[in-house]
Amino acid sequence: MAGSDVKLLGAWQSPFVMRARIALNLKSVEYEFLEEKFGSKSDLLLKSNPVYKKIPVLLHHNRPICESLIIVQYVDETWTSGPSILPSDPYDCAIERFWAAYVDDKFFPSLFGIAKAESEEKKAEAIEQTKEMVVLLENAFKECSKGGEFFGGERIGFLDIALGSVVGWVRAVESMTGFQLSDKETTPGFARWAERFCTHEAVKEVMPGTETLIEFGKMALSNLPPTN
């Protein structure tokens, strides 16, 4: 597949864009990465995703596919020669989809809530809430991995990608606040999984460094509008 046939609109710091990049890397798909500038939207993005007007957008033969987890599924079903991403068992697939939705609906907003907390009290509440979520994800790892190294068992799967894309930001928030959200004592499975995930060949080239994310995070927070 020629690289020009596959394009990805995104930004390096976005965990949602990272999902698409990891899926494409797992399938060994050549693609052109079209970087969107922070705070602006290109004409191509607005044309490709007129409904939500956000990244990521995968362009395959100039046909747009939007929303990160939908893109991951599309990549898995389109390039069947590579390792499968979604489980073949319907129940296992349903469970991974459930936890992937939990990451988007609960975990990531809670993590971001730590960074933008306006008082130490609110920050402490957000940290405690997020730590409780990590414990739930630890239990999910035990259930989904079935003794393997990843949520997908012996390979990176759908939930690994959904949650793993956030690991860089977990580390950045930990560094910024001085609080550990996960460690080998309280959530050993989650902690070891995160290390394995970040060093995987499909991940390490697209996972931003902690200091780089911290620098970007401070800049992004400083540009947030004031709250009432």
User: Where is average pLDDT lowest: 3-7, 63-67, 80-84, 211-215?
Assistant: 3-7
Domain boundaries, the chain: 3-78, 90-220
- Mean pLDDT in residue range 61-74: 98
Angle, CA of 11, 172 and 161, to the nearest 5°? 55
CATH 1.20.1050.10 fits 90-220, yes or no: yes
pTM assigned to the model: 0.93
Q: What is the pLDDT of residue 82?
A: 87
* pLDDT tens string 8-25: 999 999 999 999 999 999
Which class for 226: exposed (0-12), middle (13-18), buried (19 or more C-beta within 10 A)? exposed
Segment 29-33 long-range contacts (CB within 8 Å, at least 24 positions apart):
29/1, 29/75, 29/79, 29/82, 30/1, 30/2, 30/3, 30/6, 31/3, 31/6, 31/7, 32/3, 32/4, 32/6, 32/7, 32/8, 33/7, 33/8
pLDDT at 1 over 70: no
* pLDDT tens string 199-213: 999 999 999 999 999
Q: Under 8 Å CB-to-CB from 76, ≥6 apart: which residues?
A: 23, 27, 84, 85, 86, 158
Closest CA to 54 of 100, 111, 16, 107: 16
Spell out the CATH class of 3-78.
Answer: alpha beta
Q: What is the pLDDT of residue 23?
A: 98
Is 3-78's fold the same as 90-220's?
no
User: Where is average pLDDT lowest: 42-56, 107-121, 139-153?
Assistant: 107-121
Q: Under 8 Å CB-to-CB from 69, ≥6 apart: which residues?
A: 19, 100, 104, 158, 162
Given a contact cutoff of 8 angstroms between Cβ atoms, the answer to whether 168 and 207 are in contact is: yes
- Distance (Å, whole) CA 35 – CA 226: 28
According to DSSP, the residues that pair with 9 across neighbouring strands are 34, 57
**Pairing between strand 32-35 and 6-10?**
parallel
Q: What are phi and psi for residue 98, nearest 5 degrees? A: -60, -50
Q: Which amino acid is at 121?
A: E
pLDDT tier at 224 (50, 70, 90 boundaries)?
low
Closest CA to 66 of 49, 79, 80: 49
Q: Which amino acid is at 165?
A: S
